[in-house]
Amino acid sequence: APAAALAAAPLATGSWQLAGAGLTDWRPAYANPSATLDVTLEKDGRRVGVYIAYYRRQGYEREMIGSGNVLVRSGDEEWAIAGRGQAQALLGGVEPVTLHVATLRRKAVVLGDAGTSRLRVWHAYWIDDRIVTSDLVGKLLLAFGRLAGRGDDAAAVFIVAAESGGDALIADYLATAGPAIAALLAQTAAARNPE
């Protein structure tokens, strides 16, 4: 069955508005999520993309943290990872959190790509109301959540922008919309409706 769609409207907050056109055709290679969100937001003519792969009732067929889920698959014909790092982000609060950052490059020039042949992607996991970048810590939190009866709801969250000025743009978006993203994920986890 296709993944359900998460609501996009809550992520248009502050001066950020839902954009009509998508930013890029790149998507992370995350298999079989329970629900997804794929939206582009715009502020002052600059755009960010938000992609969320939400997982519930994880197991062999549906697992968020696994070797098969990656930013770019090995052998991908369109995209390659050009660099990796980390960044600090304020998600609407006063304490910064660390997120993974990757630079992606398109392998072939595409006419009309509007400067998106190189992308910056900030990403992390959301597990049990926490931002996590470690696979090991993520798996432990998922196991503890199941043992405590809270389930194993979790999400892989990706914020993407064109490389030029992308880090500042993503940081600005997260400072504004971080609480809205967290609230959307917490509400989805609280619903725990049968699929």
pLDDT along the chain (195 residues), means of 10: 77 88 89 93 94 90 88 90 92 81 86 72 92 92 89 93 93 91 88 56
What pLDDT score was predicted for residue 193? 45
What pLDDT score was predicted for residue 194? 42
Domain that holds residue 89: 4-191
**d(Cα 80, Cα 100) in Å, to the nearest integer?**
16
**d(Cα 124, Cα 97) in Å, to the nearest integer?**
10
Number of domains composing the chain: 1
Q: Give the global pTM.
A: 0.91
- Closest C-alpha among 158, 159, 177 to residue 54: 158
